[in-house]
Structure 1
Amino acid sequence: MSNYVLAMHIVELIAALAGSYYSLKVKDKTLAVFVWYLWVTVFVETFGMYGYILQNDYDYEWFVWIKNSVFRSNNWLYNLYRVVSIILFGQFYERVIKDPSVTKLIRILVIAYVCFTVVYFTMSGTFFIFSLPYGVFVETFLVFVFVMFYYRQLLKSDKILYFYKLPVFYISSGLLLWYLSVTPIFIFNSYLNVINDKFLEFRDFYLFIANISLYLCYTFCFLFTLRRKK
């Protein structure tokens, strides 16, 4: 396990703890869904580390069974995680945005995404092997739509006067910037990940910086806004 992975786990855990601390102090039901998303991320990233264990050659029966089964790769886990993440994002912004027509549209988009994903993996049979083709583009589009609706609501309300005190503003901004910044990496990933070792090094470092920045942003938004409330 690389130092990048270990550092990422620590920062994700800190963000989840900060979100839980904020929820306990403020009793904000709107942010509860996003805090659940952070803990789901911690669980998936921790459980997904079994891939590192499978790199060994233990003779245990259960170990050999897993290594020779469809679970030898953790692609299935992250395929589930992406679907759950979009569902939780949708639930989060449905609570944040007060316009019934917008919340209905968000619900439709989430249901359409889930149905398309289920149908695709059912028909292709690649659930345990590959991720959803162009999935990152679809997720980026959905997050972009959710955040733009939130920004529009913020601009039309009095909350724009103290937006820097709102954790949702920091969460939305960090989430949007992360998706927009990492999507280009995945565009080139399928072309260069086999033939260019330097690209792999750059990709890993770039994603590490992007992820660290994102979860530090989450941690900051919870602790800073909580302090401002006091």
Structure 2
Amino acid sequence: MGTFSLIFVHLLELIAAIFGTFYIFKYREDKSTRYFTYFLWLTVFVETVGLIPNIIQSVESFGHLKETFWNQNFWLYNTYLILSFLFYLNYVKMNLKSSKLKKVLMIFFLIYGLSTIVNLVFSKVLFEAYSAYSFVVGSILLFFSIGLYYYEILQSNAILNFSRSIPFYFSVGTLVFHLCVTPLFIYSRYYSNRTSPEFVEVYALILTIANIFMYTCYIIGFLICSKKNKSYS
């Protein structure tokens, strides 16, 4: 992403986290929304730390850090990637009613967590590239878990107020983002600025638009859903 796009997306992440914070402090809500807001703040933190390599490259006085692990952020985002998909699975699980479906997601949660850690430990990907295994497998499990959530909603009266719940906006934003980005992420391993600058440009554009859509969904969700709840006061 370009500098302007990067700053704009970071700003949306921060706004979503702030809106989430106001929401959970001012209105009654279950634990899942609190964890969702904590996750948004974690995202803001990770994205801020992730800017360090760019700062090292552009500021001369930080030149001595070019030979350290701070000069790249693969280790940071590979760790965040695992944590984010584990959060997604757990968040959906918390919003399911069926104990059977919850058990299924818990099994996926454990398998994904263990397998991704093993993959990072026994491969060289942690400090050298973004883990395709973590992203692709995590996306597949995310699609499946949100599908279970939609299936359960369709089987109940909750569908009548579906568009006035935080999980609805979470599911739409997160699902669309990964549906758009995952196929391109898979192919990005075979292209670079040197071999196909057009693909890299399209990938960056779609990634930016997908991020904007996702965080806008989160922000709108907090705004709309805050109107239906009663204040603590």
Question: TM (normalized to structure 2)?
Answer: 0.90
Q: Within 5 A, what are the aligned runs for 1:39-188?
A: 39-56=41-58, 58-59=60-61, 64=64, 66-188=65-187
Alpha-carbon contact 2:21-2:37 (below 8 Å) kept: yes
Secondary structure of the corresponding residue to residue 132 of structure 2 = coil
80 and 17 in structure 1: CA distance in 2 versus 1, 3 angstrom threshold: same
Using the alignment, how far apart are the partners of 1:187 and 1:125 within structure 2?
Answer: 18
Bigger mean CA offset, 8-17 vs 96-105: 96-105
Instruction: Give, as a single letter, the amino acid of the residue that structure 2 aligns with 1:201.
Output: E
Alpha-carbon contact 1:54-1:72 (below 8 Å) kept: yes
Deviations 1:20-59 (A, max 9, x none): 1111122322211111111111110011100111213635
Q: Where does residue 203 of structure 2 map in the other structure?
A: 203
**Cα RMSD for the two superposed structures:** 1.7
Q: Offset of 1:91 from its aligned partner? A: 2.2
Using the alignment, how far apart are the partners of 1:173 and 1:59 within structure 2?
Answer: 44
Instruction: Give, as a single letter, the amino acid of the residue that structure 1 aligns with 2:75.
Output: W
Q: Offset of 1:132 from its aligned partner? A: 1.8
Q: Where does residue 17 of structure 2 map in the other structure?
A: 16
Q: Offset of 1:146 from its aligned partner? A: 1.4
Using the alignment, how far apart are the partners of 1:201 and 1:125 within structure 2?
Answer: 27
Alpha-carbon contact 1:171-1:217 (below 8 Å) kept: yes
Q: Offset of 1:103 from its aligned partner? A: 1.3
Consecutive aligned runs of 4 or more in structure 1 exceeding 4 Å deviation:
none
Alpha-carbon contact 1:30-1:92 (below 8 Å) kept: yes
Using the alignment, how far apart are the partners of 2:16 and 2:217 within structure 1?
Answer: 9
140 and 126 in structure 1: CA distance in 2 versus 1, 3 angstrom threshold: closer
Question: TM (normalized to structure 1)?
Answer: 0.91
Quote the sequence identity (%).
33
Q: Offset of 1:123 from its aligned partner? A: 1.3
Alpha-carbon contact 2:132-2:186 (below 8 Å) kept: no
**Gapped regions of structure 1 (runs ≥ 5):** none
Using the alignment, how far apart are the partners of 2:56 and 2:7 within structure 1?
Answer: 18
Using the alignment, how far apart are the partners of 1:25 and 1:170 within structure 2?
Answer: 19
Deviations 1:50-100 (A, max 9, x none): 01112136356xx51x32123321000001101111221122122111212
Deviations 1:115-153 (A, max 9, x none): 111111211233111222343221211111111111112
- Provide the aligned length of Structure 1 versus Structure 2: 227
Q: Where does residue 33 of structure 2 map in the other structure?
A: 31
Matching of residue 3 in structure 1 with residue 1 in structure 2: no
Matching of residue 218 in structure 1 with residue 224 in structure 2: no
Using the alignment, how far apart are the partners of 2:205 and 2:125 within structure 1?
Answer: 28
59 and 6 in structure 1: CA distance in 2 versus 1, 3 angstrom threshold: closer
Using the alignment, how far apart are the partners of 1:56 and 1:67 within structure 2?
Answer: 11
Using the alignment, how far apart are the partners of 1:87 and 1:79 within structure 2?
Answer: 13
Secondary structure of the corresponding residue to residue 125 of structure 2 = coil
177 and 57 in structure 1: CA distance in 2 versus 1, 3 angstrom threshold: closer
Using the alignment, how far apart are the partners of 1:190 and 1:133 within structure 2?
Answer: 9
